[in-house]
Amino acid sequence: DAGVIQSPRHEVTEMGQEVTLRCKPISGHNSLFWYRQTMMRGLELLIYFNNNVPIDDSGMPEDRFSAKMPNASFSTLKIQPSEPRDSAVYFCASSPGQGGEQYFGPGTRLTVT
Amino acid sequence: RKEVEQDPGPFNVPEGATVAFNCTYSNSASQSFFWYRQDCRKEPKLLMSVYSSGNEDGRFTAQLNRASQYISLLIRDSKLSDSATYLCVVPRGRGGGNKLTFGTGTQLKVEL
């Protein structure tokens, strides 16, 4: 079975550019999460969806960040405009339901110069 | 008290040793707890779930002390392949639901 798929795996962009990160959750999972991980702050939840509906976006740092889940098999996290402090690893995870079993994708390593 | 607090380590231990990590949490309503493992430059992966007083899986034992609000992870007969960062994870809010709070992790290095 394919796990959570994320693309791109690495992204290097210049400050001010738009960045779009993509995620395909595990088929049948009804919850999807976007996390950001840095050395300073660890793993932070940005937003999560349940049945394609955004439930909690309180972790989204600023209006420059937006996330969508148009269907059960696809989600995007967009940063516009990007800034150097956005440099981090962004993980997408999915879960089959309530509880703590979340399955993470390999992450997108974002560098904004 | 922080939502989840862990000693960052690193814990450097020889192969075959027994090592234990502790994690404290602030949400007294949490019913379930988790340990995730993260290898360098990889994604976190679920290692163990703890729903009652504890759980054992081979060389790994997780224990829960609700009165003191801490969770421990014990690794016996440690292997080189156990070298990783171990993340303590606690659901947020009453009942937990889907939102998790991840600790910053404890780094383990197993050496020859």
pLDDT band at B96 (very low <50, low <70, confident <90, very high): very low
Residue in the block written with tokens 């995730």: B36
List the pLDDT tens digit at each of the 113 positions of chain A. 689 999 999 999 999 999 999 999 999 999 999 999 998 889 999 999 999 999 999 999 889 999 999 999 999 999 999 999 999 999 999 998 766 789 999 999 999 99
Q: Which residues of B touch A55 (CB under 8 A)?
A: 98
CA distance B32 to B107: 23
Report chain B residues whose CB lies below 8 A from the CB of A105.
Answer: 43
**Residue at B93: amino acid letter:** G
Q: Do A98 and B33 touch (CB under 8 A)?
A: no
Q: What is the pLDDT of residues B14-58, one digit of tens each?
A: 999 999 999 999 988 888 899 999 999 999 999 998 888 789 999
Q: Judged by CB atoms within 8 Å, which residues 24-53 of B form the interface with A?
A: 32-34, 42-46, 49
Please name which of B42, B81, B88 lies closest in space to residue B64, comparing C-alpha atoms: B88
Candidates B35, B38, B43, B90: best to mutate against A (most CBs of A within 10 A) is B43
CB A99 within 8 A of CB A34: no
Q: Report the DSSP pairing between strands B106-111 and B11-14.
A: parallel
**Quick one: CA dihedral B64, B106, B101, B57, positive or negative?**
negative
Q: Please say whether the beta carbons of B83 and B10 come within 8 A.
A: no
Of the candidates A42, A48, A107, the beta carbon closest to that of B105 is on A42
Tokens standing for residue A50: 């349940």
Cβ of A10 under 8 Å from any chain B Cβ?
A: no
Give CA–CA dist A107/A44, Å, rounded.
13
> How far is residue A104's CA from residue A27's CA, in Å, rounded to a whole number?
13
What are the Cα distances from residue A53, in Å, to A48, A50, A86, B99? 8, 5, 25, 15
E strand map for B26-83: 33-38, 44-50, 54-57, 60-65, 70-75
* Residues in chain B within 8 Å Cβ distance of A50: 98
For residues B92 and A49, give the distance between their C-alpha atoms in angstroms, rounded to a whole number.
16
C-alpha span between A22 and A32 (Å, rounded): 12
pLDDT at A112: 98
